[in-house]
Amino acid sequence: MHRPIYLDNHATTPVDERVLAAMLPYFGEHFGNPASINHVYGWEAEAAVKKSREILAEAINATPEEIVFTSGATEANNLAIKGVAEAYFQKGQHIITVATEHSAVLDPCQYLQTLGFEITILPVQKDGLIDLTDLEKAFRPDTILVSVMAANNEIGVLQPLAEIGAICREHDVIFHTDAAQAIGKIPLDVQAMQIDLMSLTAHKVYGPKGIGALYVRRRNPRVKLAPQQHGGGHERGMRSGTLYTPQIVGFGKAVEIALQTQATENQRLTQLRQRLWEILSQLEGVYLNGHPTQRLAGNLNISVEGVDGAALMLGLQPVMAVSSGSACSSATTAPSHVLTALGHSEQLAYASVRFGIGRFNTAEEIERVAEHTISTIQSLRKQKTLV
């Protein structure tokens, strides 16, 4: 029995064999605790952690000391948002974010509202980009944080980070970005983009699950964070807990590989995405969600008129593994908050498909996926007219 073609690389990616090979020695031979400074086992682990910290720092033009390891981007987002809120609440209690953010940003903001903070949620334009004029107007004297994701997990849209960073710096407000989907896929530079906090994760870039990081600016300006996890003072006191050395090694290796192939891989993925859209767009009533070019190379998100969303997904499942929206909210029956933020009706929001094309997908697979998607849509539309 053939497994479906995997096209859900925004939900997670398979661990690259080279990443797994780098990790394996740190489960057995080099099993030491990096905090054990009195013997060789600890030194080996500490050296491996240091190397990965340096790789991640270089990837975003930071210093190794500014990389704080976490269990993933969700924890990094919580540490960034709640940590700033607690550290700066005397300066102000107003936070700005965006309607299309991941729930790992929106939910902490909603939690802070219960504590008395005020949250401004910016709308997006029909292409998924924020209006920078709206951002400018949202600032108040008591604004302490702006959180805007780098690359959207559903529609792949890339927000203008450098422009946002410049505006935040003008207003002397901390700028946080959730870059879980962006690391290794687009150029990131915390200095040029004037980013103060950046959330990262490994499992979107062919690394292991369960490991992430938060970049925390140390100078110009120095960002303060109240820790959300106490006990041992690890990671400059910002995130206590024994470091998971094999996962950290895998994270570093995954990012290293991604950076080496970023330009050529983006070109290949863009060609595959454009080919898929070229075929699917021949059908009437099939709409592209998000900006046509300012998006992740491997992302194609469409909405389909005249079909039931559940029936569409059921029809696609034998051939492909895709998502009807954010994997993190796929257990709910509510339409995607990202797609409704674009102005879609509930029908179009439900009848959406996210194709996440990745490193191991081939041109032949894309042709097969396109053919089956078209036949499924045509079949469902025909059944509807016969009823």
Sign of the dihedral defined by the CA atoms of residues 290, 293, 298, 300, in that order: positive
- Who's near 207: CB < 8 A, 6+ residues apart? 13, 15, 16, 19, 250, 251, 253, 254, 255
Max CA separation in the chain (angstroms)? 76
Beta-carbon contacts of residue 190 (< 8 Å; ≥ 6 apart):
60, 61, 62, 196, 198, 215, 217
Q: Please state, in angstroms and rounded to a whole number, the distance separating the CA atoms of residues 381 and 65.
A: 56
Per the annotation, the verdict on 328 as an active-site residue is yes
Q: Which helix (H) or strand (E) holds 380?
A: helix 363-386
Distance (Å, whole) CA 109 – CA 114: 9
Distances (CA, A) of 41 to 28, 47, 211, 240, 245: 11, 10, 21, 20, 12
DSSP E strands: which ranges in 118-195?
A: 118-122, 143-147, 174-178
DSSP label of 33: -
Q: Are 100 and 152 within 8 A, CB to CB? A: yes
Question: By the 8 A CB rule, do 358 and 297 touch?
Answer: no
- Rounded CA-CA distance 237/225 in Å is 10
Q: What does the alpha-carbon distance between residue 269 and residue 272 come to, in Å, rounded to a whole number?
A: 5
DSSP 288: E
Contact 119, 131 (CB under 8 A): no
Choice among 328, 330, 340, 381 that is catalytic: 328
Convert 80-106 to b/e letters by CB count within 10 Å (16 or more is b). Answer: bbbbbbebbbeebbbbbbbbbbbebbb
Q: How far is CA 21 from CA 15, 16, 90, 134, in A?
A: 10, 9, 48, 47
Q: Which positions are annotated as active-site residues?
A: 328
